């Protein structure tokens, strides 16, 4: 729940460790943690590097990259 002191912002490369933590928690909740293979380096390269994947970039803008601060 957002409070008056909360804000939503686009993710930055420095958020990758937190994003991995959130993604792992979702994988555990959805019961596919054993198959979860995303690491910080691959997320950094695919979401914020020169090799940004089109669909991931779109997804990145829509939801995964919004972090509560």
* Residue range 12-54, pLDDT digits in tens: 999 999 999 999 999 999 999 999 999 999 999 888 887 655 5
Higher pLDDT, 28 or 65: 28
Of the two residues 55 and 22, the one the predictor is more confident about is 22
CA distances from 14 to 19, 41, 47 (A): 10, 12, 12
Which of the two residues, 60 and 52, has the higher pLDDT score?
A: 52
Q: Model's pTM, two decimal places? A: 0.64
Question: What is the distance between the alpha carbons of residues 28 and 48, in angstroms, rounded to a whole number?
Answer: 25
- Flag whether pLDDT at 63 surpasses 50: no
């Amino acid at each position: 729940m957002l409070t008056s002191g909360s804000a939503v912002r686009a993710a930055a490369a420095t958020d990758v460790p937190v994003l991995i933590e959130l993604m792992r928690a979702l994988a555990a909740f959805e019961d596919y943690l054993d198959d979860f293979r995303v690491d910080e380096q691959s997320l950094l390269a695919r979401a914020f590097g020169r090799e940004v994947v089109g669909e991931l970039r779109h997804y990145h803008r829509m939801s995964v990259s919004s972090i509560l601060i």
